Amino acid sequence: MNPIILKLSEDLSNLNEIAEKVAFYLKEDKVGAIPTETFYGLSANPFSEKAIKRLFYLKKRPFNKPILLLIGNYEQLFLVVKEVPPIAEKLISKFWPGPLTIVFKAKESVSPLLTAKTGTIGVRFSSSPIVRKICEVFGAPITGTSANISEKKPSRSVEEVLNEIPEVDFVLDGGILYATSPSTIVSVVENKISLIREGIISFEKIKSLLIEDNFL
């Protein structure tokens, strides 16, 4: 079956209507591609094992690799993380909403498929109004791993998504995205900062901020 294509208007005037449809599909365990502040991401219900397994299947992702989550407001963070260390609070105040994914200790209720059995979960408070509205309507975090086959380049357009993952259930067409780098990923577990992936925000910038405020 061909994917459902949802077309977002340039002025986002139909965003509420689109977000309602996406939230409905997510509750039906469908997996779709949506535009984020970086690249297109694969969106699924992180509280459904069926949806998570379909996400891994579509992405051809090994089960030893975790899946990050996107949130639409700060409160949603506490649905999936056990604690927010002081160093994380500082990063959140400076970089969220934005392209910084932070790895926290996960709540026990978070699927081990998402954490790759590490007990930790990566979360990003997206600066995309599209992502934030979808999370708000859905009422919970959603998955945000890039909409591509594992280890291949991320998708910047609907065409690239469909070329990579033709079996995806739906695609939200937000036009062509022009990001050059993915989100930066850092871990703050045990209140210690470590770099997992360098992205849009340089690790030097992050460390400078922490040094300035005597966290390092």
- Kindly report the CATH number assigned to the domain that includes residue 199: 3.90.870.10
Tens of pLDDT along the chain (216 residues) come to 789 999 999 999 999 999 999 999 999 999 999 999 999 999 999 999 999 999 999 999 999 999 999 999 999 999 999 999 999 999 999 999 999 999 999 999 999 999 999 999 999 999 999 999 999 999 999 999 999 999 899 999 999 999 999 999 999 999 999 999 999 999 999 999 999 999 999 999 999 999 998 888
Q: Which domain holds residue 96?
A: 4-212
Question: Which is it for the CA torsion 15, 76, 43, 25, positive or negative?
Answer: negative
- Domain count of the chain? 1
Burial level of 10, CB count in 10 A (0-12/13-18/19+)?
Answer: exposed
Q: Give pLDDT, residue 216.
A: 80
83 phi and psi, to 5 degrees? -155, 155
pTM of this structure: 0.96
Closest residue by Cα to residue 29 from 130, 143, 126, 110: 143
Closest residue by Cα to residue 187 from 73, 78, 75, 66: 66
